[in-house]
Amino acid sequence: MRRFALVGILIATRLLGQSLTREQSRILDAVNADAANSVALLEQLVNINSGTLNPPGVRRVADVLGPRFEELGFACRFIPMDPVQRAGHLVCERKGSHGKRVLIIGHMDTVFEPDSPFQKFVRSGDTATGPGVADMKGGLVIILSALKALRDAGALDDTAITAFLTGDEERHGSPVSVARGDLIEAAKHSDAALEFEGGVRAQGHDAATIARRSSYSWVLKTAGREAHSSGIFGGAGFGAIYELARILDRFRQELREDGLTYNVGLVAGGSSVTEQSGASLTATGKNNIIPAAAQASGDVRTVTEEQYERVKKRMETIVAEHLPGTTAEIEFGEGYPSMPPTEGNKDLLRTLNQVNRSLGLANMEPFDPALRGAGNLSFAAPYVASISGLGAYGSGSHAPGEAIELKSQTYQTRRVALYLYELTHGTGVR
């Protein structure tokens, strides 16, 4: 079955060759020829556990990828991120003067740590499951296969391309000024940033991401007077848990607006609350004691930074209106900034749609940012025209059973390879 699918791709390539240059046709032929090797590399990468909090595993992924970039003429270095308690970043560069300076952004880590039961690549026909198979090891394979096709067609010479693969996209290290400082510097010296998070579809059609929402964390802590439960609502006050519930319910009712979500992910309360590594809370207490402490944490996502600042101020106002006998405070943590749809981003989409037309594909419309999660590209976007959604097509990301559409890998790689060719050889020359 897979042989017939590949034959179909080859026939389509020959038909399209009537409207493509000889070099572009060679690029597509090279992509098609690499399909089986790409699946083999995907399986190898997925079977390496690279949970964000597993630095040795992330480094093993970098050790697999680095030599493959070097075979394509890239100079690679690994930037350790020990100061922020993360593995580090793999950066591979080709220096040249032809066309736009392209920054390729991806990540090597996944949400599946070594203690997850979901650990192996399993193929079933044209789909496969595995930890990080779509988010985003499938995207890493697309990057390498597209670059390899350019090299094989003689189209990689004298191009300026930097691949920046982080090791902590799923849970970035702190402070973010350190964790993303090198990526921001790379963006400042680039003309176009392409992120290889998963491909997306809207109403059954491929779409592109030229805007993304922010993602910031918050921690809410409340306190009350510990006393016998018979004194609740009286002189002893309302206790920490009622105060916490008041605030969260006010959030639920009063903050809603277009493009905004705010989630409560973790809650605990009692006589005492103990936090462990920012990922778990432990509470102690008794049913007949007014709770002295409660804590909740969550995130808030906005389309613009102005929206975030406005919502943040409203949340702080709600927190400040205490029930009798209680206190409360909220802290907002570092996160991913929003990425607005700039004219530069729109220009990148127009170029991508030129490629789509040359392949006989439909135009890609902008994907609704309210439906897209945060990503590394948002750190680069203030400094360079940016676009995302060039990675693998799949489903179930961040959960056991995460899957990839293997049949779409070659299809997406063909698009990406010609897109990179257009950016580095087309009309957009610096």
Per-residue pLDDT, 276: 80
Q: Check pLDDT > 90 for residue 282.
A: yes
Mean pLDDT within 176-188: 97
Q: Is residue 100 part of a domain?
A: yes
Q: Is residue 90 part of a domain?
A: yes
Residue with tokens 């063909």: 414
Domain end residue (candidates: 311, 336, 361): 336
Tokens of 181: 């400082």
Residues 30, 13: Cα–Cα separation, whole Å: 11
Tokens of 188: 């400042």
Q: Is residue 267 part of a domain?
A: yes
Instruction: Calculate helix-pair angle for 407-425, 138-152, nearest 10 degrees.
Output: 50
Residues 161, 154: Cα–Cα separation, whole Å: 15
Residues 243, 130, single domain; the answer is: no
Q: Is residue 126 part of a domain?
A: yes
Q: What is the DSSP letter of 46?
A: H
Average pLDDT of the chain?
Answer: 93
Residues 309, 222, single domain; the answer is: yes
The 10 Å Cβ neighbour count of residue 33 is: 16
Q: Is residue 430 part of a domain?
A: no
Q: Is 291 exposed, middle or buried (0-12, 13-18, 19+ CB in 10 A)?
A: buried
Q: Check pLDDT > 80 for residue 213.
A: yes
Q: Is residue 172 part of a domain?
A: yes
Domain end residue (candidates: 336, 363, 393): 336
Coil, helix or strand at residue 136: helix
Residues 58, 172, single domain; the answer is: yes
Per-residue pLDDT, 7: 43
Listing DSSP states for 50-80 in one string gives -BTT-HHHHHHHHHHHHHHHHHTT-EEEEEE
- Read off the CATH number of the domain in which 309 is found: 3.30.70.360
- Read off the CATH number of the domain in which 77 is found: 3.40.630.10
Residues 133, 21, single domain; the answer is: yes
Domain end residue (candidates: 306, 336, 366): 336
Instruction: Calculate helix-pair angle for 2-16, 22-33, nearest 10 degrees.
Output: 170
Q: How many domains does the chain have?
A: 2
Contact in structure between 42 and 143 (CB atoms under 8 Å): no
Mean pLDDT within 218-241: 96
Q: Check pLDDT > 70 for residue 16.
A: no
Residues 327, 369, single domain; the answer is: no
Mean pLDDT within 361-377: 90
Residues 203, 220, single domain; the answer is: no
Residues 72, 34: Cα–Cα separation, whole Å: 14
Residue with tokens 């003067």: 97
Residues 119, 104, single domain; the answer is: yes
Residues 346, 378, single domain; the answer is: yes
Per-residue pLDDT, 370: 83
Query: How far does Cα 344 stand from its chain's mean position?
Result: 21
Contact in structure between 134 and 196 (CB atoms under 8 Å): no
Q: What is the pTM of this model?
A: 0.85
Q: How confident is the model at residue 278 (pLDDT cuts 50, 70, 90)?
A: low
Residues 231, 195, single domain; the answer is: no
Tell which residue, 395, 416, 394, 391, has the closest CA to residue 405: 394
Residues 141, 265, single domain; the answer is: no
Per-residue pLDDT, 19: 77
Q: Check pLDDT > 90 for residue 3.
A: no
Q: Check pLDDT > 90 for residue 430.
A: no
Contact in structure between 415 and 154 (CB atoms under 8 Å): no
Residues 301, 343, single domain; the answer is: no
Q: Check pLDDT > 50 for residue 184.
A: yes
H or E element, residue 193? strand 192-195
pLDDT tens-digit profile of 132-149? 999 999 999 999 999 999
Q: How confident is the model at residue 374 (pLDDT cuts 50, 70, 90)?
A: confident
Strands 98-107 and 192-195: parallel
Q: Check pLDDT > 60 for residue 428.
A: no
Mean pLDDT within 73-92: 97
Task: Tell me the residue range of the domain where 228 lies.
Answer: 215-336
Residues 206, 325, single domain; the answer is: no
Q: Check pLDDT > 80 for residue 238.
A: yes
